[in-house]
Structure formats: structure tokens, C-alpha cells
């Protein structure tokens, strides 16, 4: 892969098995065994996408268009049904609301753990601890168990860890509108810094204002296919003009 490409997705297809049987248990599996029909749902259907190093690409599309599925495939959460994904560098997903925080552990303990999950070593997290805490502005609470935090405080801490892991590619799925207004501005400023230092960003948003504000390029997904891609303004105009029914 060429060195100026951060991410290359080729003929990507993802198919899910649809479930009609409710709870996942041996009991239902046995009861439904004869009546089970295997129905497949194609969430992504031959997606091609290239993201250059240092580029900021926005994914837009209706609910169920496959945006989160695409991001998950890129982060290696799912395995593609077919097609390929090549990544140049380290990926960090922005976790929403501190997913992975344990309520009984303190802020510091959770930061260490989350940092390691995102690929840092323990030493690296400890070296960045002061920056992370300062960024989240949680100096007074960082030694209390996170169950005492408000949801906004949790989100701040989660975001602070994610932006301090120094990944090459940041993956953001609709998590920027979590803190209060001042913190949101801070997040955008931080993302701007990240880009200036050569980081690549792939993000999903339903907020066209933020797409206009930070994206270099916009990709519109529709029914698991790339409907259109190009300059944000023209793609947003086309996307907002789309009045067809969504078929979920």
C-alpha cells in the first residue's frame, strides 16, 4: 500500500445472520431448531473507500445505512464476509460514555485500564496521566470511583483517554455531542490539533454543521453502498435532498 494512504477498503461486503428467535439461549435454540430460517441481511454491499494520510473523512447516511458497521469492520471488530481492508498505522476508536469503565474503580485506575485497552503500555499511560486528567478537567474527582461521576464526566474522561493515545487513525462514531458546550469546543480544537500533526480521521455524524466544519471529504452511504462521495458541500446537498423511504 502506498505510504500516503492511511486506509484502503476494497469490495467490502458484510452479511449478518438475522435472528427471529429472541433471547440467546440453549432452550430457545432447541425449541427453534426446526423452525429456524436462516435469513441473511446484507449491511454492506461492495464498499470501496480510500482515505489518505492526514485526511478527515465524514460518513453520512440514514439510520441503518451501514456506517457503524463500516467503522467496526475497519476497527477489526467484525470480520468481512468478503473484500479486504488494509490499514496503515494504529487505530483508536473514540469510546462513547467510557465504555469499559468499571464503576467501582477510581478514575485513575480506569484511565490506566482504558489506555492499555487502546494499545498503550502502562508506562505510557502513566506518563500521560496528568495531561489526560487536565484535559478532562476532573482533577478533584479523579481518585473517586467513577460510579459517582455524571454521564458527562464519564464521557469527558473517555474522550480524554482516546485523544491521548496518539493513534494514527481516529475513528469517531457520533460521540462528539456528549459534554457541555465548552467541552465540545475543546474536543473540536483537539481534533484540529490531531489533524495538524498529520492524524487521519474517519467519523460518522448526523450533524451536518460539524461535517462542514471539519471534514475534507464526505462519503454518503445508502443501503450498504457508497451513493456518492466528494466535497462535503455537494454531498450534503445531495444527501439532504434525498427523500426516499429508508428500508430498515
Partner 1 sequence: MKAELKELWRFRELLFAMVERELRIRYKNSALGFFWSLLNPLITVLVMTVVFKYVMNNDTPNFSAYILAAYLPYLFFQLTLLDASQSVLVALPVVKKVYFPREILPLASVFSNFIHFLLAILVFFAYLLVVYLLDPRISPFSWTILLLPALLLINFALAAGLSLIVSALNTFYEDVKYIVSVLLYLLFFLSPIMYFSETVLYSGGLGGRNQLIYFLYHLNPVAMLCTAYRKVLVPPQPVQVGENFYPALPLDWGLLGITAAMSLAALIGGYAMFNRMKWRFVERP
C-beta separation of 100 from 114 below 8 A: yes
Q: How far apart are CA 223 and CA 34, in angstroms?
A: 31
C-beta separation of 92 from 171 below 8 A: yes
Among 47, 55, 58, 67, binds ligand ATP (CB under 6 A): 67
93-122 residues near partner 1, rule: CB under 8 A: 93, 95-96, 99-100, 102, 104-105, 109, 112-113, 116-118, 121-122
Q: Which of 24, 38, 182, 248 binds partner 1 (CB under 8 A)?
A: 24
Which partner in partner 1, Mg ion, ligand ATP, none is near 93 (CB below 5 to 8 A by kind)?
A: partner 1
Give the chain's radius of gyration (CA, Å): 20
DSSP percent split of the chain into helix, strand, coil, nearest 5:
35, 25, 35
Q: Could you say whether residue 75 binds Mg ion (CB under 5 A)?
A: no
Of the pair 60, 87, the CB lying nearest Mg ion is at 60
Rounded CA-CA distance 56/182 in Å is 23
58: contact with ligand ATP by CB under 6 A? no
**Residue for cell digits 480506569?**
110
Handedness of CA 171, 120, 88, 55 (dihedral sign): positive
End-to-end CA distance of the chain: 35
232 binds, options partner 1, ligand ATP, Mg ion, none, Cβ within 5 to 8 A by partner type: none
Nearer to Mg ion, 8 or 68 (CB): 68
Query: Which residues contact ligand ATP by CB under 6 A?
Result: 16, 18, 41, 43, 61, 63-69, 248
Query: Which residues contact partner 1 by CB under 8 A?
Result: 16-17, 19, 21, 23-27, 29, 72, 75-79, 91, 93, 95-96, 99-100, 102, 104-105, 109, 112-113, 116-118, 121-122
Amino acid at each position: 500500500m502506498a505510504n500516503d494512504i492511511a486506509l484502503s477498503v476494497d469490495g467490502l461486503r458484510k452479511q449478518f445472520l438475522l435472528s427471529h428467535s429472541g433471547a440467546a439461549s440453549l432452550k430457545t435454540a432447541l425449541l427453534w431448531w426446526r423452525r429456524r430460517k436462516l435469513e441473511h441481511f446484507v449491511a454492506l454491499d461492495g464498499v470501496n473507500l480510500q482515505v489518505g494520510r492526514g485526511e478527515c473523512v465524514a460518513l453520512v447516511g440514514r439510520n441503518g445505512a451501514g456506517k457503524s458497521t463500516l467503522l467496526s469492520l475497519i476497527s477489526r471488530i467484525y470480520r468481512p464476509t468478503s473484500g479486504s481492508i488494509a490499514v496503515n498505522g494504529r487505530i483508536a476508536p473514540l469510546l462513547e460514555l467510557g465504555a469499559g469503565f468499571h464503576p467501582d474503580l477510581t478514575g485513575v485506575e480506569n484511565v490506566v485500564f482504558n489506555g492499555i485497552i487502546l494499545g498503550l503500555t502502562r508506562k505510557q499511560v502513566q506518563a500521560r496521566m496528568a495531561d489526560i486528567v487536565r484535559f478532562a478537567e476532573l482533577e478533584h474527582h479523579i481518585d473517586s470511583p467513577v460510579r459517582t461521576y455524571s454521564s458527562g464526566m464519564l464521557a469527558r474522561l473517555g474522550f480524554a483517554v482516546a485523544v491521548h493515545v496518539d493513534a494514527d487513525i481516529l475513528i469517531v462514531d457520533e460521540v462528539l455531542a456528549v459534554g457541555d458546550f465548552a467541552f465540545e469546543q475543546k474536543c473540536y480544537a483537539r481534533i484540529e490539533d490531531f489533524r495538524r500533526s498529520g492524524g487521519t480521521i474517519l467519523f460518522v455524524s448526523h450533524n451536518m454543521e460539524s461535517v462542514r466544519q471539519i471534514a475534507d471529504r464526505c462519503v454518503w452511504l445508502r443501503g450498504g453502498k457508497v451513493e456518492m462521495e466528494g466535497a462535503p458541500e455537494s454531498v450534503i446537498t445531495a444527501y439532504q435532498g434525498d427523500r426516499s423511504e429508508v428500508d430498515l
